[in-house]
Structure 1
Amino acid sequence: MSPVIIALDFANAQTTLTFLDQFIQEPNLFVKVGMELFYFEGPRIIQELQRRKIKIFLDLKLYDIPHTVEQAMYQLGRQGVEMVTVHAQGGQAMIQSAKRGLQRGNQEVRQAPTKLLAVTQLTSTSQAQMQTEQQIAVSLPASVTHLAKLAQKSGADGVIASAWEDPAIHVATSADFWCVNPGIRLSNEVIDDQKRVATPKKARQLGSQAIVVGRSITQADAPVAAYHQILQEWEAVK
C-alpha cells in the first residue's frame, strides 16, 4: 500500500478510469475517492477500483447525529475500503458510533478493519479564519491537537491534519496513531486554495504516515512521472 494517496477529484467514472489507465503498471496503488466522485457514481466506482486491485481511501467526512453516522458507517464498512473519515468536531459520541457502525459493516463482509480517521481542521483553514468564523479562541495547533486526542479517546485510528501539526499530534497521542496529510505541494508549485501546505519530504520528516496528493499529480503534464517524483521524495527520508 503506497504512502502516496492520489486524490481522484474527478467528476465521473469515465474521466477517473481514463486517468488511472496511465498507472496500470504501478503496484500498490492507493487512491482517495471524495464527495464529488462518490456522490455521482456511488458504490460502483468503488467496485471498479477494487476490481483493478487499487486500495481506497473513501473520504466523505461524515458529520451528523451519532445514530445517523453509525448507520452510514455500517454501510461504508461493507464497501471493503481501507480508510474512511468523520469530522472530529462531531464529538466523542459521534466518533464512537462511527467506529461501532464501521466494525459491524466490516464483520458482515468479513473484511479486515477499515481505518477510521477524524478530520481536525481543514488545511484550507487559517488560524484567523478559525478564530473568527468558528469562534475558537485557542491557536490552530492547539485546536488540532485537542481534536486528535479526542479522536483517539473515542476509538479513531488516526486523523487528517496538516503535516505541520504531526509532531504535536504524536506527542499528544501515540506514534502508531495515524497522521494522514493533505495539503501537499512540491516546492515549486502554487498552493491554490490551501493554507497550511508542506512538501512530501517535509511531511515525512514531521511524522506523516501517508500523504494525499491531488492536483500535483492529476493536473501534471506527466502524471505518472509526477507520482514517482513525489514517492521518491518521500522515500528519500529515512
Structure 2
Amino acid sequence: MKTNNLSLTDRIIVPLDVPNIKAAIALIDQLPQITFWKVGLELFVSTGSEILTVLKNRDKRIFLDLKFHDIPNTVAGACRQAAGYGVDLLTIHATAGSAALKAAKLAVQEGAEASGVAPPKLIAITLLTSLSSRDLAFDLKIPLELPEYALQMALLAKNAGLDGAVCSPQEVEQLRQTCGEDLLLVCPGVRPSWAEAGDQRRSLTPAQAFKAGADYLVIGRPITTAKDPSAAWERICQEVAT
C-alpha cells in the first residue's frame, strides 16, 4: 500500500457535509487537528472551488468526492477541470465503464500538468455503501453477489489504470487480496463501536477496517454531529491506536 509513511490518524478523512461555506469554515476551525477533509456534492455545489481554496490555505489534504458518471467525453472534461484544483483524491463511478475510466485517467494527468499541480489519485466507486445485497438484486437487477460485484468493479478500475477504489469495509479484505497492495482502498461507512450505523448498511469499526487492508477511512457523523466533535475525534484516534 502507498500509505505506509502516514500515521493512522492522517489516513482518516472527515467529510465536510455541510450546506455552505460559513458552516464549513466553522467545522474546519473547530477541528484543526484534522489533516484530510472530504468535499462532496452538497458543499461543492454550494461553494464551488472557494471551499478548496480555504482548505489549501490551511494546508489540508482534499478528497473531492463528486462521483462523476457520464459518457467518456463529458467525464474526461470534468476530470480535466477538477485536476486543476490540486486536490489529492477524486472519484468517478466504475459503472461509467472502461472507456470513461481510461478517458478520465488521461484527463486528470492533462489537467494537472496544465495547471502545474500534482495529479489527483483517481478513485472508482464500486457500490455505494448505503446499498445492500437486497438492493443490488431486487432494485438494480444485478445477478451477482454483492462482494463479487464490488470486486468486479474494483478490477475494472484497476485494469483501466485508476489509482484506487471506494468500497465498504466489509469488502476491503477480499479486494486487497485480489487487487494487490498498490491499489488504494478508501472505505466510507466506517462506524466506531459506540456510534449509530445510520444509513450505512455494510460497516466495520475503524480498527477493523484498517486491519482488513483499508488505506483511508471516511468517518463523518460520529465526529461532526457529536456534542463534542473534538472529543469524538480523540476517541476514534485512541480506538485505532490500540
Shorter chain as denominator, the TM-score bin is over 0.9
- Are positions 1:136 and 2:142 aligned together? yes
How much is the aligned-residue C-alpha RMSD, in angstroms? 1.1
| Whole-angstrom distance in 1 between the partners of 2:147 and 2:238 | 29
* Deviation readout 1:198-234 (Å, 9 max, x if unpaired): 1101101110001001101100111112112222322
* Deviation readout 1:57-114 (Å, 9 max, x if unpaired): 0000000000000000000000010000000011100111111111111111222221
| Whole-angstrom distance in 1 between the partners of 2:46 and 2:107 | 24
Contact 1:167–1:207 (CA under 8 A) maintained in structure 2: yes
Gap runs ≥5 in structure 2 = 1-5
Alignment-derived partner of residue 72 in structure 1:
78
SS in 1 for 2:66: strand
Alignment-derived partner of residue 197 in structure 2:
191
Among 73, 95, 98, the alignment partner of 1:92 is 98
- Are positions 1:124 and 2:130 aligned together? yes
| Whole-angstrom distance in 2 between the partners of 1:194 and 1:167 | 18
Alignment of 1:142-181 (within 5 A): 142-181=148-187
- Identify the range of structure 1 (103-112 vs 195-204) with the bigger mean alpha-carbon deviation: 103-112
* Deviation readout 1:37-62 (Å, 9 max, x if unpaired): 00010011111111111110000000
| Whole-angstrom distance in 2 between the partners of 1:44 and 1:33 | 11
- How far has the Cα of 1:186 moved from its partner? 1.2
The letter of the residue matching 1:216 is P
Alignment-derived partner of residue 3 in structure 2:
none
Alignment-derived partner of residue 42 in structure 1:
48
- How far has the Cα of 1:171 moved from its partner? 2.1
Alignment-derived partner of residue 16 in structure 2:
8
| Whole-angstrom distance in 2 between the partners of 1:136 and 1:90 | 16
- How far has the Cα of 1:235 moved from its partner? 3.2
| Whole-angstrom distance in 2 between the partners of 1:69 and 1:156 | 14
Among 217, 229, 233, the alignment partner of 2:235 is 229
Structure 1 residue ranges, 4+ long, deviating more than 2 angstroms after superposition: 231-236
Alignment-derived partner of residue 54 in structure 1:
60
* Deviation readout 1:156-210 (Å, 9 max, x if unpaired): 1111100111111122211121110000111122211110011101101110001
- How far has the Cα of 1:11 moved from its partner? 0.2
SS in 2 for 1:59: strand
- How far has the Cα of 1:155 moved from its partner? 1.2
Alignment-derived partner of residue 18 in structure 1:
26
SS in 2 for 1:117: strand
| Whole-angstrom distance in 1 between the partners of 2:162 and 2:234 | 30
- How far has the Cα of 1:152 moved from its partner? 0.3
The letter of the residue matching 1:42 is G
**TM-score normalised by the chain length of structure 1:** 0.95
Alignment-derived partner of residue 88 in structure 2:
82
Contact 1:4–1:231 (CA under 8 A) maintained in structure 2: no
Gap runs ≥5 in structure 1 = none
**TM-score normalised by the chain length of structure 2:** 0.94
| Whole-angstrom distance in 2 between the partners of 1:76 and 1:235 | 34
- Are positions 1:205 and 2:211 aligned together? yes
Count how many residue pairs are aligned between Structure 1 and Structure 2. 234
Contact 1:61–1:85 (CA under 8 A) maintained in structure 2: yes
